[in-house]
A and B are shown apart, each in its own frame.
Chain A
Amino acid sequence: MATRALHETFTRTAAAWGGRTAVVEPGRGEIDYAGLDGLAGRVRDRLVALGVRRGDRVGLYLPKSIDGVAAMLGILQAGAAYVPVDPGAPAPRCAYILQHCDVRLVVAEAGLADRVRPELDALGARPGWLVVEAPGGGHGLAAALDRLDAASPAPAAPVQYPAGDEVAYILYTSGSTGRPKGVTLSHENAVSFVDWCSATFVPTADDRFSSHAPFHFDLSILDVHVPLHHGARLVLISEESGKDAMHLASLIASQRISCWYSAPSILALLAQVGRLEEHDARSLRLVLFAGEVFAVKHLRALTARWPHPRYFNLYGPTETNVCTFHEVPLPVPDERTAPYPIGTVCSHLRARVVDDAGRDVDPGAEGELCISGRGVMLGYWAQPELDARAFLVGDDGTRWYRTGDIVVESAGVGYTYRGRRDRMVKRRGYRVELGEIEAGLYRHAQVREAAVIALADEEAGVRIRAFLAARGGARPSLIEMKRFCAANLPMYMIPDQFSWCDELPKTSTDKIDYQRLKALP
């Protein structure tokens, strides 16, 4: 199959479905396909006028909005790769990301731009800016472009169609050394995934997709690009409403969403506090979840309340996007407690299970899941040493991405997830390297030693506990530590519990003894 650029189908869809609604931003406005294509084209022209060229990276630093979707498409049309940055993350982390992948320009909300600019200056980075005063409904972006056009119109620039192996976007995920790492994905990676979704979920122009995940999260690739390939409607759920489980059911009902996709944690909350009985969710035909294990008792409650959609457990790291899937057979039996399998490998990928030495294990034995194929990332941006560790190269030269996930394969159901081989955990669907939290804690002036462990928790999925030893006598209060973390780490990385020790337990080789920490009360 010939590879096309990620935005190539959108151009055709926009021509075919011009007057149909493309994106809705509840409470802020909506835009049809022709309008979205027009706005994206204006972004493309302006970016090119500002010096962006095919192969460049462009930061996307906007709250979730129609403006953000149009900017994303405009960046792609300019032949550049988009780098979505979490508007809620601390400015130093955002600046690191923008500087690390050497963005040519940042499309940013004004307040966010003000916050990150001094940090970028300090790093010696001087990207260009397309500043949007008040993003929302596409109006802020249009006004920003109007202002620039009034001063000097941007000449029309042709749509670029990068080759399959050129970079489409970079998603930064938690890195064990304390710095996020840039998962670099090509147009072919993205398109092969979108095509798999199309074949599996058969979207039509009548579908309405939720966009619950933020744009810097890999779930957003399905959310945004699948509906836009099919003339369907994308319903943006803002960061704030996305967390508000008590009101999500009314949003699903009022927007008549047909395909829902999110991490299980919000669905678990929806099942518990969502007042599902008060809202008509008959429009839902698909409920997709990914990013972490869905506790069976909450899945049972959700499916009992909403028995009509099909439920799919999608599994895959950012490096491959979804690579295995499993349709949950309904009803969920009362006696079941074991989580559902992650299922069988997607048709555009191949899977194998290996031991520590990289040899295939016997069928039915535990091992690390490795993935190859068109969906597997190009690598980590500017970190070849990480690439070398991430891939197992087969005898025939095939690159197999080592997921770090321990699985077991069984006949009929495919793969079942058993655990991790490293210190990465999933929280609210996000990847969290415990080492990155530790590195954050060490930045506190009073912290002499820090170690973080993850504990299984039926309610929250995973609970993060930090052990600290203070420099000198005074121990910062719990509130102070939480505030310090809030200023230095993304919210989903803030430990749930802090425990102070005089000294952390050590192994005979003087390393922190995590096993003993796990045994502490």
Chain B
Amino acid sequence: MTDAIQSAVKEFIMTEFLPGEDPDELTPTTPLVTGGILDSIATMKLVLFMEERYGVRLEAHETDPEHLDTLVDIAALIRAKRG
């Protein structure tokens, strides 16, 4: 099933943080924070992207690895925030 939010976030992460990588390597469950792909600065950039693109505002506790570690988690968080 194609998930529009996951696709958009994936495209952002591929372009910003994984240039040159085969897109098939980044799966919906690849660990992003605990897997060393997103460091703290990259996570901030991702949060800014999410806030701007989807008009959501993330709270402090929502920017930890528990909520942002995979594309599945990120898409779920955005959906929950949009209500």
A interface residues with partner B (beta carbon < 8 Å): 240-241, 243-247, 250, 265, 269, 273, 428, 459-460, 477-480, 482-483, 485-486, 491-492, 494
Contact = CB atoms under 8 A, between A and B. Distances in A.
B40 A479 contact: no
B44 A479 contact: no
A120 B30 CA distance: 30
Contact of A491 (B20, B39, B60): B39
Given A247-B60, A477-B25, A479-B26, 10 more contacts: A243-B40, A243-B44, A245-B44, A246-B47, A460-B41, A478-B21, A478-B25, A479-B35, A485-B36, A491-B40
Contacts of B20: 478
A277 B61 CA distance: 21
Contacts of A250: 60
B18 interface: yes
12 contacts: A244-B44, A244-B63, A246-B58, A247-B59, A247-B63, A265-B41, A273-B44, A460-B41, A479-B37, A485-B36, A486-B36, A491-B40
B63 A246 contact: yes
A480 B36 CA distance: 10
Contacts of A494: 36, 39
B20 to A, nearest CB: 7
Contacts of B58: 246
Interface of B: 18, 20-22, 25-26, 30-31, 34-37, 39-41, 43-44, 47-48, 58-60, 63-64
Nearest to A488: B36
Contacts of A265: 41
Contacts of A428: 40
Contacts of A245: 44
B56 to A, nearest CB: 13
Top 4 nearest A-B pairs (CB, nearest first) are: A486-B36, A243-B40, A247-B60, A482-B36
Given A477-B21, A478-B20, A479-B26, A491 B36 contact: yes
A269 B41 contact: yes
A246 B40 CA distance: 11
A31 B51 CA distance: 37
From A245, A460, A482, A492, name the one whose CB has the most chain B CB atoms within 10 angstroms: A482
Given A245-B44, A269-B41, A477-B25, A483 B60 contact: no
A285 B15 CA distance: 41
B40 to A, nearest CB: 4
A209 B26 CA distance: 42
Contacts of A459: 41
B48 A479 contact: no
B21 A240 contact: no
A273 B46 CA distance: 12
Contact of B30 (A246, A479, A485): A479
Query: Which of B30, B35, B36, B48 is most buried by chain A, counting CB atoms within 10 A of its CB?
Result: B36
B35 A482 contact: yes
Contacts of B43: 243
Nearest to B61: A240
Contacts of A460: 41
Contacts of B47: 246
Contact of A273 (B35, B48, B59): B48
Nearest to B34: A486
A255 to B, nearest CB: 13
Interface centre among B26, B30, B44, B58 (most CB of A within 10 A): B44
A479 B18 contact: yes
B70 to A, nearest CB: 12
